[in-house]
Amino acid sequence: MNKSLHIALTFDDNFWAPAYAVMRSICLSTRRRGEIVFYLLHMPLSAEHRADLARITEEFGAALVFYPLVGEPFFEDFVAGLPQGGRWPKVVYARMLLPGLLPQEVERVIYLDCDMLVRAPIEELYDIDLAGKPLGAVRDALAPFIPMRRDMIQNADLFDGADPYFNSGMLVIDLDLWRQMDLRAEIDALAKRGILAKLYFDQDLLNLIFRDKWQALPWRWNTIDAHEAHEALDPAILHFTKPAKPWGIFAGILRSTAYARWYRHVMTNALFYRFARHRWKRWWLKRLRLT
């Protein structure tokens, strides 16, 4: 009997539609969709949006396990004092809690950001060799600029530009090896050095904790800043890291991102345009609150 494929996402109620698109792209790209278990670590979800997500089970038979995070002491205590920002709310750190949250019998999980699109059978990534390391990831295409910042010198006391640096949007996690580590103690040690405010959120944090403890995976499993030229290279997972996103109304016309039209049909037209109205309403509400 084939083993289950365990996949985790973290998001809030404003990203429910992209989360749905990630899951649906995974299910459309594999014949083992009925063996997939999605772990959804989320902030409060409306009943309507939760029902949208449940359609993954109805269409493909994949299992969904919801982990609400708001008000949970283990989550609030963990994120207290960690840097946060408008584009990076505290839910981004939830991926670091997977070893304790997921059932002990789950030995491996793939974590994916919600601004992604999967085009290859996810089992190929799930079964990839991590060479005995607790973590597999793809080198960030913008390193060393991201860790070292302005003029690639700002954080030279923390990072060496010659060291490999990974993007945290896709992680293959050996949970048994992660469980042998004390991530809380690692974070506390970094906090005592007074450097948390200097870090690029979870990504810098993970790169410091797992320095020399991660396996570099082929670029196609996290194609960063996915744009039209990448379509010719047969990427397995597209990662839309730039401001232009495939859920933008004109993305397919302007061809500002890779597979924009493909993405709209993965999300489904009905949800795509409902998500557009949701974002437009939020935009206006923000502007009105400022006046």
The mean per-residue pLDDT over the stretch 27-53 comes to: 97
Indicate the pairing of strand 108-112 with strand 166-174: antiparallel
pLDDT of residue 173: 98
Total domains in the chain come to 1
For residue 228, what are the domain limits?
A: 5-290
Average pLDDT over every residue of 1-16: 89
CA 246/CA 257 separation, integer angstroms = 6
Mean of per-residue pLDDT scores for the chain? 90
The stretch 152-172 carries a mean pLDDT of 92
Q: How far apart are CA 46 and CA 93, in angstroms?
A: 22
For the chain, report the end-to-end CA distance as a whole number of angstroms.
60
β pairing state of 237-239 and 223-224: parallel
CATH of the domain at 60: 3.90.550.10
pTM (two decimals): 0.93
- pLDDT tens track for 75-104: 988 888 887 766 678 898 999 999 999 999
- Residue range 185-201: mean pLDDT, rounded: 86
User: What's the mean pLDDT in 130-143?
Assistant: 95
Q: What is the pLDDT of residues 101-119, one digit of tens each?
A: 999 999 999 999 999 999 9
Could you identify the residue written with the tokens 């004092």?
Answer: 81
The Cα–Cα gap between 128 and 136 comes to 9
Angle subtended by helix axes 260-267 and 269-290, to nearest 10: 100
- pLDDT tens, 228-273? 878 778 999 999 998 889 988 766 556 678 898 999 999 999 999 9
Q: Compute the average pLDDT of residues 108-132.
A: 97
Residue 1 reports pLDDT greater than 50:
no
Select from 167, 176, 50 the least CA-distant residue to 112. 167
201: left (phi over 0), alpha (psi -120 to 50) or beta: left
Highest mean pLDDT, choosing among 81-90, 139-148, 275-284: 139-148
